[in-house]
Structure 1
């Protein structure tokens, strides 16, 4: 994600050891995110202002490791409170890793998209998107996922995530001619066969930071990218452009760790980060579309180019089917991981 002031540095741990205010408190409220770019903006526009407003101390940790969540729950020693999660995990792990939420305690809930399952709070509108090097293809740019797989017309390396749930299968099937309305259930075999056709030209990335490095260094000429990360790379000097046609749309999602003794503080935090002002700031710093429908961010030209909430962009979206992923993620991850490692 893009950062406050468009600086890309990993956040250091924030907050301190002072106990948080409120019933059931047991130390500071801990937010766990993806690390890197996400952490800096989280600290600047969420954590520090929340502490200032509520006097509830906060601490940061990263990355969001599900094995650590399980270990905390199994031991009964809950150290984390609110965590960024892949949206389908908010369905799969609802009630086991994550608390079923009382919507009445989230003051902004009627201004947000529906909760994801009963455990996930959508905090923005997020796109997995085709981006391309305009220096190389500016005169005849790609316009679809079909072009992502056309090495004759658009030679060069393609950036692709090692995380299959990041629109990877959807992009391959769209590139192979599947209509958006016929995309689900996903044909995993067909998607992998499509990637086989360009595998020698795939450069895998395992993190947002590595994705940005590929784009900014010129290692790739196209990428299936996280749109907010690309806008930061553009601000860093990369001459990449987005293709909004058939971008794959979902939400960044946060959830509350099951059994946290800081539940009331966590509800206050969830309400805070989804209020109009914080959503406005989040969208301005990241280019991820505000989830709160009342938020009206002020965007510069780059921000507008990468704004997932722009109606002209949003109408071209293919919505990620979280229920399919909740049911099939283990098979999809296993198959894709084995293929990508070959």
Structure 2
């Protein structure tokens, strides 16, 4: 795989940002979200003009338009103009170097955030515009000085319920137990940072001991991966593959992206999944320093993090924002399928994005080093 191909893979999965997020939203059931009124946001968020916002296109953007942008415009009078690309960072950096910003808001891959933050590319978030419910429902780690978590993605253990009618694997220890749970396995091919932690869980490490992925832990993980490698019938490289291969009967179990699995389940697929040991990653949104409408960007941030609008975002895209107060506005059947459900949140393992972005003595980031070892092992 080329560096260019790797760079186009979102930190949350082995597929482009746009293709990863387009599919889930179009498959979701009819959403419920309270309609925002102009009076609801009149006091602090009313304005004029527009705000230019990066997005991934397709069904992802269509969902946001319907459940976030259109209500925002009705409530505030501010028009949202979306611009589409797979990744925002190259264009944001180019605009920053040129000294001319055409966008106001961009989504930032979490590993790219530290360097862009240090370069002063973002403006501080004005949390005085947020209502109390938004502040209380959104964890502190999701409210950075100059960025917010806009949504999160998880990698879960999914299995074919037809193969295991009495109950399937519930942990990565089970996944590695080929006698108790026989059948073809699937694992992600592209990003080692997703699969390596699963091997460490299977090796017996506790959740809190997975990160950082030291060289000693990597050795242990690859030893464990050598054990399961003969049972992996296909190393998947696109987010839509795992649920489809489960449906086709080619997998008995596999790692998979939560949004993809949820979308398949909502279409009636005979799939179940377990949250235990799921990896979790975040996507940031930031207001760009020097953008033409940064004040309106602040108002958009405050609006989309309201609990009712956050619920709409989740139903429109298939991936939840961090405000847990949105749970009360979602259909009851949605809650167990989301990583922000407290029962599920206690089982997931957030990746250590700061460690991944940190540089080693040779000048490479830990993420680069990890990926090089992963690709070398995959090539064996």
Per the TM superposition, whether the score is higher than 0.5 is: yes
Contact kept in structure 2, 1:69 and 1:97, CA below 8 Å: no
Shift of residue 142, structure 1, vs aligned partner: 0.5
Q: Please name the residue that 1:299 is paired with.
A: 331
* Cα pair 2:105 2:287 within 8 Å, conserved: yes
Rounded to whole Å, the distance in 2 between the matches of 1:279 and 1:90 is: 23
Decide whether aligned partners of structure 1 residues 36 and 307 sit closer, same or farther in structure 2, where only a CA change above 3 A counts. Answer: same
**1:318 Cα deviation (Å)?**
2.7
Bigger-Rg structure (1/2) = 2
Corresponding residue of 2:160: 133
2:135 paired residue number: 110
Deviates more, 1:244-253 or 1:272-281: 244-253
Determine if contact 1:87/1:116 at 8 Å carries over to the other structure. Answer: no
1:40 counterpart SS class: helix
Counterparts of residues 110-259 of structure 1 (less than 5 Å): 110-111=135-136, 112-114=138-140, 115=142, 117-124=144-151, 126-152=153-179, 153-160=181-188, 162-165=190-193, 167-186=194-213, 187-199=217-229, 201=232, 203-259=234-290
- Segment drifting more, 232-241 vs 37-46: 37-46
- Match status 1:89 vs 2:122: no
What is residue 65 of structure 2 aligned with on the other side?
A: 43
TM-score computed with the length of structure 2 as normaliser = 0.73
SS of residue paired to 2:278? strand
Could you tell me how far apart the structure 1 residues matched to 2:252 and 2:103 are?
A: 39
Contact kept? 1:96, 1:258, Cα under 8 Å: no
Superposed displacement of residue 205, structure 1: 4.1
TM-fit CA distance, 1:74: 2.5
Q: Which runs of 5+ in 2 are unaligned?
A: 1-20, 30-45, 359-365
Aligned residues: 324
Contact residue 216 and residue 233 of structure 1 kept, 8 A: no
- Rounded to whole Å, the distance in 2 between the matches of 1:218 and 1:64 is 34
Whether the 8 Å contact between 2:104 and 2:288 is mirrored in structure 1 is: yes
Q: Distance in 2 between matches of 1:203 and 1:105?
A: 50
Compute the displacement of 1:222 (Å).
Answer: 2.3
In the other structure, the counterpart of 1:332 is 370
Shift of 1:236: 2.3
Shift of 1:5: 6.6
User: Deviations 1:84-140 (Å, cap 9, x if unpaired)?
Assistant: 333343334324374142343552562322246533312345432111111112324
RMSD value over aligned CA atoms? 3.2
Give yes or no for the alignment of 1:318 onto 2:355: no
Structure with a larger share of its residues in helix: 2
Give yes or no for contact 2:161–2:167 (8 Å, CA) kept in 1: no
